[in-house]
Structure 1
Amino acid sequence: MKKFIDENFLLNNKTAEVLYHQYAKDMPIIDYHCHLPPDQIAEDRNFENLTQVWLYGDHYKWRAMRANGIPEEYITGNKSDWEKFEKWAETVPYTLRNPLYHWTHLELQRYFDVYDILSPATARKIYDECTAKLQTPEYSVRNLLRKMKVVVVATTDDPIDNLAYHQQIKAEGIDLKILPAFRPDKAMHADDLPALVSYICKLEEVAAMPVTDFNSYLAALKSRHDYFAVNGCLVSDHGLEQMYAENYTDEEVEQIFLKIMAAQPLSASEILQFKSAMLYHFAVWDHEKGWVQQYHLGALRNNNSRLLQSLGPDTGWDSIGDFQQGPMLSKFFNRLDSSDQLTKTILYNLNPADNELMATMIGNYNDGSIAGKMQYGSSWWFLDQKDGMIRQMNALSNMGLLSKFVGMLTDSRSFLSFPRHEYFRRLLCNLLGEDVENGELPEDIEWLGKVVKDICFNNAKEYFKF
């Protein structure tokens, strides 16, 4: 009987085994996009129990529990941490063929040396054993990162954040690089005028300058962009339904901004013009500083208005959207490229129908100045699973250079998510191994091993300059 998640998990040929164990397995991790809370890293927090580190804030698990008929009180409600974990353990056996089944057991093995299959029968033993370990110094959040050989983490931070926790971490001089990333989505969210006006007021206070018109708004945001750079930021990130590249004039955007400040309703076209102007200026600033800009495209968010109202955003009510991506991507990048102001860029799609679109779009703007300047990013969110990762790598291989890919990231809020890098690395090695054993690639293990190491770590190190 084949062991579940043995040393050759997902490695279905001998070449894959060699590539993974000799080249990929021990490479360090650069996690260049995640949502880990910097305050917990600054405090070097120890979690009280397995539920807190594993289930709090994890809408992947929440969606699975709801699909399994688990009442909300056991998910985001007021039930005890043990009762919530018990319901997760009840759900896990039913997640077979969902990536959660693999991730759950990889995380138990890699962090806690627990090889039991999680179920109602094993729940108490696993909970108690892992909780006891989590309360020891060896399981503080920094040591959880070290356990997975993580050397760089880029968090996701709003422009008005004071970055105090990043400053605290840097002042300690620890062996982990924890860097901020500039995420200005709220600064351009003209769909919700009250929220945007409130945001502008907070920006005025943080930037210590008045905002009276569009130019002063840009100046205040630029001051925050500069502040992030001083504090080690090298990347920006944008979570968008689609790229915005509508035509606009400076005069039109100025009038739109004055309407925003007066809380006057905007037309659909005015909203698009405002977003387009904001995205353009952010991109120009990124180019000036040599940052990497990232665009996560295609999420249809907040679909369940009833439960959104009671639980808020990022609680599991988002899905894949079917937005048209190509024309605006081309228009946006072409404007920047025409004035030689297009910085290093990573595109992520949520709809798998856009895989080949993204893989070919990046080729339009690779200009030979930097290897892999334009990147087709790793499979994201709902695509962050076996089939999604393989399809993304196949699209990139067929239409670009997989060898120049900057590899995997967690995009996670959990300190236990780093085995996703291992998952990706095993699939990468298996993909290349299959080609060798099918006679589609030469059996040059030294060269293939170098490519594997590059994708796992070296390409990202060179690309981001962390």
Structure 2
Amino acid sequence: MKNFIHPDFLLEGKTAREIYHDFAGDLPIIDFHCHLSPKLIADDHNFDNLGQVWLEGDHYKWRAMRTNGIDEKFCTGAPSFYEKFMKWAETVPHTVGNPLYHWTHLELARYFNIHDLLNSKTADNIYHDASEMLKHKDFSVKNILRKMKVDVVGTTDDPADTLEDHARLKNSEVKVCPTWRPDNLIKTDDPEAFSAYIKKLEKTAEKQITNYADLLKVLDERHAFFDKMGCRASDHGLDRMYYTDAAGTDPDKAFKKLLQGEKLTEEETEGYRFRLMQELCKLNHKRGWVQQFHLGAMRNNNTRLFNKLGPDTGFDSIGNPQDSVKISRFLDSLDVNNELAKTILYNLNPADNEMFVTMIGNFQDGSVPGKIQHGAAWWFLDQKTGMEKHLESLSVLGLLSRFVGMVTDSRSFLSFPRHEYFRRIACNHIGNEVDKGIIPYDREILKNLVEGISYKNAKGYFGF
């Protein structure tokens, strides 16, 4: 019987198979946005077992397990990783139709050459076989990156981070770049937490921050340090874009109120966040970075379990469609003075696809191919249907050939087959268009298109 993960997995037609195997399958990986630990890479860590590397911190799997009626203790509780893995294996057959089913079996095949379908009957053997492999030096974190042909990893790092682990990775065979993620500076709903964060930033910067001008000076210095350490991108995880044209917006007054433990009004909040985001984006332009905006997550919906487990534990969802006016006004507020950096906009609500693709066209200026990007299908859209819709929207309303391609956005070192998953889906989409006569069968056009969106465009866009 043919393995589920076989050479032509997801490739429906002859052209799709041809262009995947000829142009995409063997290319290296640039994973310019993820949440991998630079410390684990610098330490060249070996994981103890398959349960640990697969289930620790993976809220995608936790959501599926909860939906399957698995007790919370097997997601975030005290049971052993073996016990948790067995509950995950029990859940896997119920994920048919979900990308988790594809990812699970791609990862078993690519890392461990295991082609059995994971279920309660096969779980014990799979667990012990894979766990034994993980203990060997061949499966250290750096060797996992080599095995998957990873050229570049872009981690996610706070301005208050010392980047000491990145310093240890300066001459690494796989380039590991920090990514500037200053989200804590706009989390103003809890003044006490905000003030505690500013103290942390002061400690790292060895500078006192008593007003907005102090903050901007420290941020410029930290930004310069990140640049020296190889950072070439920022990332901003926002519920939405901020903008106000209200007169009298005073970010210094708002900042001082927060340090004094006072809550901001809605108007003050919008003004402070807008003005600070402007300044952060000007720094990105100043140093020639790419800036990424992940927009539209509705986070921490379950108050009871958020209070018990904290953020990033699987209780987030797709938010309302984005405010196109605020996105336009924010980008224009930078572009009007020619201070708009290369920008990638990711939407989480699929209803925003066409709006985002047409929005990026407003700010292309001919200075860089694809200067403003519609980012890869993200989070809940990171699946076959979501990717196909993204590719279709970008094809008909933009230039698919200039797309910078896929990211894992993952905390797992076993997630790199998501690039293969994307490449197969993209080649299948393109191949089907060729077979329908919508795209010509021209080997040069197809080669440039597939190699570009799989690897080359990202390499050129970020300057890696």
Contact 1:241 1:299 in 2 (8 A): yes
Deviates more, 1:236-245 or 1:200-209: 200-209
Alpha-carbon distance in structure 2 between the residues aligned to 1:285 and 1:108: 42
Q: Deviations over 1:29-62 (max 9, x none)?
A: 0000000010000000000000111110000000
Partner of 2:403: 405
Partner of 1:277: 275
Alpha-carbon distance in structure 1 between the residues aligned to 2:377 and 2:300: 21
Q: How many residues align?
A: 464
Partner of 2:18: 18
Alpha-carbon distance in structure 2 between the residues aligned to 1:254 and 1:133: 55
Q: Deviations over 1:219-247 (max 9, x none)?
A: 11221111111111000000001001113
Partner of 1:314: 312
Alpha-carbon distance in structure 2 between the residues aligned to 1:288 and 1:248: 26
Q: Which runs of structure 1 show a deviation greater than 3 angstroms over 4 or more consecutive aligned residues?
A: 248-251
Change (3 A) 1:250 1:134: farther
Deviation at 1:248, TM superposition (A): 5.3
Match of 2:420 among 414, 419, 422: 422
Contact 1:294 1:347 in 2 (8 A): yes
Alpha-carbon distance in structure 2 between the residues aligned to 1:22 and 1:337: 40
Alignment of 1:227 onto 2:225: yes
Alpha-carbon distance in structure 2 between the residues aligned to 1:78 and 1:96: 28
Matches within 5 A, 1:51-450: 51-170=51-170, 173-247=171-245, 252-450=250-448
Q: Alignment partner of 2:234: what SS?
A: strand
Contact 2:49 2:134 in 1 (8 A): yes
Contact 1:283 1:293 in 2 (8 A): yes
Contact 2:295 2:347 in 1 (8 A): yes
Please list every run of 5 or more consecutive structure 2 residues that lacks an aligned counterpart in the other structure: none
Deviation at 1:4, TM superposition (A): 1.7
The code of the aligned residue for 2:254 comes to I
Alpha-carbon distance in structure 1 between the residues aligned to 2:249 and 2:386: 44
Deviation at 1:212, TM superposition (A): 1.4
Q: Deviations over 1:193-223 (max 9, x none)?
A: 1111111111111111111111111111221
Q: Alignment partner of 2:83: what SS?
A: helix
Contact 2:249 2:272 in 1 (8 A): no
Q: Alignment partner of 2:236: what SS?
A: strand
TM-score calculated relative to the size of structure 1 = 0.98
The code of the aligned residue for 2:212 comes to F
Contact 1:28 1:457 in 2 (8 A): yes
Q: Alignment partner of 1:296: what SS?
A: strand
Contact 2:155 2:179 in 1 (8 A): yes
The code of the aligned residue for 2:125 comes to K
TM-score calculated relative to the size of structure 2 = 0.98
Alpha-carbon distance in structure 2 between the residues aligned to 1:457 and 1:160: 31
Please list every run of 5 or more consecutive structure 1 residues that lacks an aligned counterpart in the other structure: none
Deviation at 1:177, TM superposition (A): 0.2
Alpha-carbon distance in structure 2 between the residues aligned to 1:61 and 1:209: 42
Deviation at 1:259, TM superposition (A): 1.0
Alpha-carbon distance in structure 1 between the residues aligned to 2:59 and 2:229: 30
Alpha-carbon distance in structure 2 between the residues aligned to 1:195 and 1:415: 31
Q: Alignment partner of 1:75: what SS?
A: helix
Deviation at 1:447, TM superposition (A): 2.1
Q: Could you say what the CA RMSD is over the residues aligned between the two structures, in angstroms?
A: 1.1
Change (3 A) 1:383 1:251: closer
Q: Alignment partner of 1:127: what SS?
A: helix
Matches within 5 A, 1:20-39: 20-39=20-39
Q: Deviations over 1:421-460 (max 9, x none)?
A: 0010011111111111111111112320121011111100
Q: Alignment partner of 1:313: what SS?
A: coil
Deviation at 1:324, TM superposition (A): 3.1
Contact 2:346 2:378 in 1 (8 A): yes
Alignment of 1:47 onto 2:44: no
Contact 1:41 1:142 in 2 (8 A): yes
Q: Deviations over 1:89-127 (max 9, x none)?
A: 000000000000000000000000000000000000000
The code of the aligned residue for 2:67 comes to A
Contact 1:242 1:323 in 2 (8 A): no
Deviates more, 1:258-267 or 1:455-464: 258-267
Alpha-carbon distance in structure 2 between the residues aligned to 1:359 and 1:258: 38
Alpha-carbon distance in structure 1 between the residues aligned to 2:172 and 2:332: 42
Deviation at 1:192, TM superposition (A): 1.6
Deviates more, 1:264-273 or 1:156-165: 264-273
Alpha-carbon distance in structure 1 between the residues aligned to 2:200 and 2:68: 41
Q: Alignment partner of 2:373: what SS?
A: strand
Q: Alignment partner of 1:178: what SS?
A: strand
Match of 1:462 among 429, 451, 460: 460
Contact 1:248 1:277 in 2 (8 A): no
Q: Alignment partner of 1:457: what SS?
A: helix
Alpha-carbon distance in structure 1 between the residues aligned to 2:444 and 2:2: 30
